[in-house]
Structure 1
Amino acid sequence: MTTQLSRATHPDLPSFPERMIQFGEGNFMRAFVDWQLQQMNNQGLFNGSAVLVQPIEQGLSHLLAQQDNLYTVFLNGILNQQTVNDSEIITSVSRVINPYSQYEDYLALAENDELEFITSNTTEAGIAYNPDDRLSDAPPKSFPAKLTALLHKRFQLGKKGFVIIPCELIDRNGEKLHQIVKQYAQEWQLGDDFLQWLEAENTFCCSLVDRIVPGYPRDKAKELEAEIGYKDNVMVTAEPFLLWVIEGPEWISERLPFTKAGLNVVVTNDMTPYREQKVHILNGPHTAMVPLALLAGLETVEDVMNDDCFSSFVKQLMEDELIPMLNLPKEALHTYAEAVQERFKNPFIRHELTSISLNSISKFKTRLLPVLLRYQQENAELPKLMTLSFAALLLSYRGDRLERQDSPEVLAIFDQAWSNPASFISSILKEESLWGQDLSKVPHLSETLESNLAQLEELGSRVALQKLV
C-alpha cells in the first residue's frame, strides 16, 4: 500500500518562515506562485513560505493538512523545443487558514513582522464589493473586505504594510482591489489615519499571470503515484511555460528575486500590452471553445486541437476576429497565437474543459465581450464565431445539458430568464449585473443570438460550427 505524502515520510524536507499571505489554495496558485517561491528557495534567494487563506468556506485546507501542506507539482510539455517531464515536492506552503472557522488565527497574521507580501487568486468574481460586509463580521464574505479587516488590524498594531499583488484575471486588478479596500475603510469609518497608512505603507500592484494549470490529474493519478512512490491527494499538473507581469516599482525585483532565479517574471511600469495579448489570445479562445466543445461531447483542450473542425475554429477565431481588434504589432500577435496553439496541443497534460468553465459568465465578460463589441463598432457587423460561442454559452447556462459552475446569484438570474424561453434572449442581454451594460442595445445581437440558439438546438454545435469555419 502506498503511503501518503507527509513530513513523516519525507523528514528531510526543509521548512521556511512565513513571508507571504496568499488568498487562494487552489491548483493555479499552488502551481504558479508557490512553485516560484520553491524555485527561489531552492537557490537560497528567498527563504520564505506562504501561509494560504481559503477564500470560501469549502476548500482544500483539510486535504493539505493531511499531507503537512506538502504536495507535488508535475511539469509536462515542450519548452524551448525541449520536452519537460519533471516532478517536485513543494515545501513553500506553511499552512492553510480557513477564516470561516479560524478567524482569530487569520487576524493574528497581522502580528507577524516577517510577512511582507500578499498575493491572491479568488477567481474573476473575487475582487468585488459586497455592501453587506461589516468589520464586525467573522469573517466578512468578500475577499476585499477580509483584506481590509486584516490591514486595519496591521495598522492598529503600528506595523509596516504589505506589497499586494493580486493575480485575478481582471483588468487593473491591483487598482480595483485598492479602490474597494478604500471604499470599505470609508464606509466602516476606520479613520483618516488608517487611510493615510494604507496609501503610504502599502503597495498595490496590478499583475498578469500566464501558465496553463489543468490541476489534479484524475486520469493518471494512480500511475503518477506509482512513479513517485507515495500517495498525493492534491498533486497538480502544469505546463512548463510561465509568465508573470507585475506593474509596480523596480525595487520589487530585489525583494522578490524571481528573475535572479531564472523565472520569466517581468516588473514593468505598464503591463497593458502584455495583458491585452494574453487575455484575448490565450484566455479568449479558451473561453470561446468551452461551451461549443462541451455541447459536442469533447472533454479536453487537446481534444479540441485534435479535432479538425474545432481546431479550425480556434485558428480562425484568433486570426479573423481577435488579432485584428488588438492595437499591438500584428507580427508579434501572430507569433504569440501560434505559440498558444502549440501550448493548447500539449499532449502531456489533460486540461479539462469543465475546469475552464468555472464562472464562465465573468470570464466571457472579461475575455471576449470587449473584443466582440469593438468588432461590431468597427465593422458594423458581429463576429460570427464569437457570437456563436456566446449563444452556446447562454444555452449551456440553461442547466439541462451541461453542469453549470457559477455563483448562486448568476445561476438565479439565468433560471429566471430561462423560465420564459420566448423572452430569454431579450431579458438576459438586459442584465447589466452580468455584462456591465445593456447588451440588448447592441445592433443585431439579439436576433443573431436567437438564430444561433435555434441552430444549436436543431443541428448541434458541431454542425452549426461547420457552417462557419
Structure 2
Amino acid sequence: MILPTLNDSFRQLPKFPTKVIQFGEGNFLRAFVDWQIQQMNKQGLFKGGVAVVQPIANGRTKQLEAQDRLYTTLLEGKLDGKVVQEHEIIEDINQTVRPYDDWQSYLDLAKNDDIQFIFSNTTEAGIAYDANDRYDALPEGTYPAKLTALLNERFKLGKPGFQIIPCELINHNGDALKKAVLQYADLWALGADFKQWVNDANDFYATLVDRIVPGYPKDRAADLETKWGYHDANMVKAEPFFIFVVEGDQKLEKLFPAKQAGLNLVVTPDMQPYRNRKVSLLNGPHTTMSPIARLAGIETVGEVMKDPDFYQFVNDEMYQEIIPTVALPQAELEAYAEGVKERFENPYVRHELSSIALNSIAKFKARLLPTFKRYVAANHQLPQRISLALAAYLKIYAGKADFAPQDTPETLAEFKQLVQAPDYLGAALADTKLWGEDLTQFDGLKALIQKDWDLFDQAGARAAVQAINAK
C-alpha cells in the first residue's frame, strides 16, 4: 500500500502569525520548543508560528518543506509511573529559511513586527566568536555572527528587540551569546547606539533544557507509518518527560505561556540549583554507572536498572551522596530522582553505556567532582559510590579492561604517560591536567581507590558494588 506523504491536508489548527525565529531544525528543537508551541496553540494561549532558520549550509529544511513543514512527534516512555505512547502532528512551522541560499530572506525576518522570540540550539560549539567573521560574508560563519547581522537590521528599522532564549547546553548560555554579539558589534564597528539597543531592547536568557530525544525511530518507522496512515520522513521520537528552566524576568511566563498550558516551564531568578540538580541527579548517576557496570559486563542503562545490585547502588547514590549536596527542597529533589529512575528504565530507549563513556574524564570532572567535593565538605568523609566510579575509570584508562577508553587524544596521551609512573594511582589522582586540581588533597582517597582497585582484581566489579550496598 502506498501511503500519502504528510502534507497540509492533515492540518487541524489554523496558521498563526509568525512569532518565533528558531535557529536550528534538528530533532531536539522540534521535539522541545516546537512541541511546546503546539501545546500552547491548541489551547489558544500563544497563537504563534515559527520561522526556522537553517544555521549551517547542510540541514533538513528542504525535507520539512517537502511535507509542508509538518512532522510527527512520538512520545514514548514512563511518566509518573505510567507508560506513555502517543504521537502528534506538529503544525507550527510557518517558514523555513536557508541563509546560505537566500541571505535577503533571512534579513527580511527583521521586518516582521509579530516576531518576539528567538530560540536556538546550534550545539555547544555553536555559541562562539570568530574574529575572522566579516559583516559582508553573507552569511557569516557562526550563529552569534548571523544573529548580530539580524539584530543590526532590526535596529536600523527602528523596531523593538527580542526575547532571546538559547537552548545550547552550556552554562550561562544567554550571557555567552550576548557577549559574542557585542564582540561582533565591536569587530564590525556597528556603533555605540547599536550596542546600547542590544543591551536595552533585548532580553538574553540563560536556560536549562532537559528532554531525551533519540530522534528518528529508524527501526520502527515503517510500522508506525502504516499505523498512522501517512509517510513522514521527519518524525522525531522523544521521552514524555521534559523541563524547561529559564533564568530571567517573570514577564516571560505571560509572553510564553507554557506554564499556563500545563507544561513544565520554570522561570526563576537563579537557575543554578536546577542545573546542579540535573547535572548531579541525571548526568551524575550515568557517569557513575557507566564504568562500573561495563566492568561487570552490563551494556545499557536499562539493564543497569533491571539488575537488583546495580539498581540499589544507583538509588543509594542518588539519595545518600547526591541529594544532600544540592540546594533545593528535599521533596523536590526526591520527586526528580524518582522521575530520573523512570527515565533510566524507559523500555523504548536503548541507551548504551559505551555512548555515555565517551570523554569520561571531562564528564567526571564536570558531573561528579563537584558533588564529590560538596559531599566531603558537608560530611568530612568520602562518598563511596562516586569514589568507586573513579577507581573504575582509572582502571579502564590504565588499559586494565576488556574494552578501550574513548576520549580525546590529549587525555589518552596523558594516561599513556601516567601508567609508566611507579605509583600510577597517586600520579593519576594528582594530575591537575585531568581534574583541574590535585585529588590527593582529599584525605584517604588514594587508599580508598587502591582498596577498590584491589577488589576489582580479586572479586570483580559486581562484588565491589555488593560490598558497598551491604553497608
Q: TM-score with structure 1 length normalisation?
A: 0.80
Cα distance in 1 between the residues matched to 2:398 and 2:178:
32
Quick check: 421-430 or 326-335, which moved more? Answer: 421-430
Task: Indicate the RMSD between aligned Cα atoms, in angstroms.
Answer: 4.0
The answer for the alignment partner of 1:411 in structure 2 is 408
The answer for the alignment partner of 2:179 in structure 1 is 179
The answer for the alignment partner of 1:43 in structure 2 is 43
| TM alignment of 1:219-230, pairs within 5 A | 219-230=219-230
The answer for the alignment partner of 2:32 in structure 1 is 32
The answer for the alignment partner of 2:243 in structure 1 is 243
The answer for the alignment partner of 2:84 in structure 1 is 84
Cα distance in 1 between the residues matched to 2:204 and 2:375:
33
The answer for the alignment partner of 1:18 in structure 2 is 18
| TM alignment of 1:350-365, pairs within 5 A | 350-351=350-351, 353=353, 364-365=364-365
Residue 25 of structure 1: how far off its partner (Å): 2.6
Quick check: 11-20 or 419-428, which moved more? Answer: 419-428
Q: Tell me: CA distance 1:388–1:227, structure 2 relative to 1, closer, same or farther (3 Å).
A: farther
Cα distance in 1 between the residues matched to 2:53 and 2:451:
45
Residue 319 of structure 1: how far off its partner (Å): 2.1
Cα contact 2:359–2:408 (8 A) shared by 1: no
The answer for the alignment partner of 1:209 in structure 2 is 209
SS of 2:321's equivalent in the other structure is helix
Residue 361 of structure 1: how far off its partner (Å): 6.4
Cα distance in 2 between the residues matched to 1:458 and 1:34:
53
Q: Tell me: CA distance 1:411–1:82, structure 2 relative to 1, closer, same or farther (3 Å).
A: closer
The answer for the alignment partner of 1:155 in structure 2 is 155
Residue 337 of structure 1: how far off its partner (Å): 1.7
Cα contact 1:4–1:67 (8 A) shared by 2: no
Cα distance in 2 between the residues matched to 1:456 and 1:82:
38
Give the partner amino acid of 1:254.
K
User: Are 1:367 and 2:367 counterparts?
Assistant: yes
| TM alignment of 1:90-239, pairs within 5 A | 90-99=90-99, 103-130=103-130, 132-239=132-239
Cα distance in 1 between the residues matched to 2:66 and 2:398:
36
Quick check: 452-461 or 119-128, which moved more? Answer: 452-461
SS of 1:260's equivalent in the other structure is coil
Cα contact 1:125–1:362 (8 A) shared by 2: no
Residue 165 of structure 1: how far off its partner (Å): 1.5
Q: Tell me: CA distance 1:268–1:329, structure 2 relative to 1, closer, same or farther (3 Å).
A: closer
The answer for the alignment partner of 1:269 in structure 2 is 269
Q: Tell me: CA distance 1:271–1:59, structure 2 relative to 1, closer, same or farther (3 Å).
A: same
Cα distance in 2 between the residues matched to 1:446 and 1:455:
14
Cα distance in 2 between the residues matched to 1:59 and 1:363:
29
Give the partner amino acid of 1:189.
A
Give the partner amino acid of 1:209.
V
Q: Tell me: CA distance 1:140–1:377, structure 2 relative to 1, closer, same or farther (3 Å).
A: farther
Percent identical: 48
SS of 2:10's equivalent in the other structure is coil
SS of 1:218's equivalent in the other structure is coil
Give the partner amino acid of 2:73.
V
Q: Tell me: CA distance 1:81–1:456, structure 2 relative to 1, closer, same or farther (3 Å).
A: closer
Cα distance in 2 between the residues matched to 1:393 and 1:109:
49
SS of 1:234's equivalent in the other structure is coil
Cα distance in 1 between the residues matched to 2:289 and 2:101:
38
Residue 252 of structure 1: how far off its partner (Å): 1.7
Q: Tell me: CA distance 1:10–1:269, structure 2 relative to 1, closer, same or farther (3 Å).
A: same
Residue 162 of structure 1: how far off its partner (Å): 0.8
Q: Tell me: CA distance 1:308–1:232, structure 2 relative to 1, closer, same or farther (3 Å).
A: farther
Cα distance in 2 between the residues matched to 1:130 and 1:7:
40
Q: Tell me: CA distance 1:420–1:275, structure 2 relative to 1, closer, same or farther (3 Å).
A: closer
Q: Tell me: CA distance 1:412–1:96, structure 2 relative to 1, closer, same or farther (3 Å).
A: farther
Q: TM-score with structure 2 length normalisation?
A: 0.80
Cα contact 1:7–1:13 (8 A) shared by 2: no
Q: Tell me: CA distance 1:292–1:145, structure 2 relative to 1, closer, same or farther (3 Å).
A: farther
| TM alignment of 1:311-330, pairs within 5 A | 311-330=311-330
Residue 341 of structure 1: how far off its partner (Å): 1.4
Q: Tell me: CA distance 1:341–1:45, structure 2 relative to 1, closer, same or farther (3 Å).
A: same
Quick check: 56-65 or 319-328, which moved more? Answer: 56-65
SS of 2:46's equivalent in the other structure is coil
Report the number of matched residues.
462
Deviations 1:18-40 (A, max 9, x none): 32122333322211111110111
Cα contact 1:110–1:151 (8 A) shared by 2: yes
Q: Tell me: CA distance 1:455–1:145, structure 2 relative to 1, closer, same or farther (3 Å).
A: farther
The answer for the alignment partner of 2:385 in structure 1 is 385
Q: Tell me: CA distance 1:309–1:175, structure 2 relative to 1, closer, same or farther (3 Å).
A: same
Cα contact 1:5–1:70 (8 A) shared by 2: no
Q: Tell me: CA distance 1:449–1:188, structure 2 relative to 1, closer, same or farther (3 Å).
A: farther
SS of 1:171's equivalent in the other structure is coil
Deviations 1:241-270 (A, max 9, x none): 332222222322222121232222233333
Cα contact 2:128–2:144 (8 A) shared by 1: yes
Where structure 1 has 5 or more consecutive residues not aligned to the other structure, the ranges are: 405-409
Give the partner amino acid of 1:247.
E
Which structure has the greater CA radius of gyration?
A: 2
SS of 2:86's equivalent in the other structure is strand
Q: Tell me: CA distance 1:164–1:278, structure 2 relative to 1, closer, same or farther (3 Å).
A: same
Residue 202 of structure 1: how far off its partner (Å): 0.2
Cα distance in 2 between the residues matched to 1:367 and 1:346:
22
Cα distance in 2 between the residues matched to 1:180 and 1:457:
50
Q: Tell me: CA distance 1:193–1:461, structure 2 relative to 1, closer, same or farther (3 Å).
A: farther
Cα contact 1:54–1:98 (8 A) shared by 2: yes
Residue 427 of structure 1: how far off its partner (Å): 8.5
Give the partner amino acid of 1:193.
D
Where structure 2 has 5 or more consecutive residues not aligned to the other structure, the ranges are: none
